[in-house]
Structure 1
């Protein structure tokens, strides 16, 4: 059962997808919720805002185009950060955070949206985009589709997100990673491109963080077995 803020965020994502079927992907806590729903599981950590990464490498004007669409849909930027970013957009109780991949260069980072400002870069975002496909969803009787990373892509994205040491609330990523580990199965790995060097390094580091921070995620049912399964599935040598 979604609360009002979560439902509003999902309706916003469906509104956005109807205008922009590609050029972005879902990340963050709602991605974990989506994968839990797909596997008949229940998320451990509540979250209301919807996070989306924009494919500014494949679609250089994605930030301007998508924020312009959000304005058309009734959204406004929720202020500007000290760094000059407008990453959060609101419409009533709906909150959508727009991010772009890090390490694409100054030109990509300096592109501005409809509010005249840039948005936040985040590591691992391009990897999530590279592993994206479309997921059908049903929200309050409304059907639609949302682009989202594969389960492997979600694991990689969470590993990268936890690496942002300036994030004072980054322990939430440990809980999300534990939940994702309970969902992964051998079929999720078959047909996926093997982890590249950067992805493998990030996931390996995250597994190490999970090991030393067990009390943070110990309440997640099946997480210990899931972590073992994830290691066997993703960090073994692929041929």
Structure 2
């Protein structure tokens, strides 16, 4: 089966690319251009990232796919209603993506750091999606994954992606300890309760917010209950969670 490999680099000037290829600085690009094809692109207006990559992915102009600038806007709808949603999300695109058309023919696609997340077909694999789920332009603090420092050691081989998530505070290691000094009225636990501290950092400015966490073993089969509190008092817990559950706060 033949496969198509498409490479696109945001804001790369084709004249600069050709010069670097001619100077021998980009041998791999030269190889791709020789065995494949190379073309300049006429930008859709306004010449920004969201609408142009969506146009490339759909073959439609912004007026058709509906993506314009970095925040989504609908006629006669307040800006705050949709503007916070990321423009490169598939939730807002009104045209069919190329990979959706391929999926209808039973063909699979792999997208690496490209627009169109979340997936709209099980025939498409997104790797390092362009915009993570749940992100919003007006958010005070981004969603993050908190994990123990011991668990982080298991991810060291993942390399750059993990490093990037740590730098952006999307992956936040916490120190889990058996020390519970300062906690009031600890709940019953078959094993020694474990505590940790979560620090939420604002995206742009403002003070950090601290939450206290507690892990409890209720059945003697391992730690199965998580308490998140604003202060070290389980009776004032913001949420009490089991594995797979979502909190309400």
TM-score normalised to structure 2 length? 0.26
Of structures 1 and 2, the one with the larger relative CO (CA 8 A, separation 6+) is 1
The structure whose Rg is larger is: 2
**Which structure features the higher share of helix residues?**
1
**With structure 1 as the length reference, what TM-score do the two structures score?**
0.26
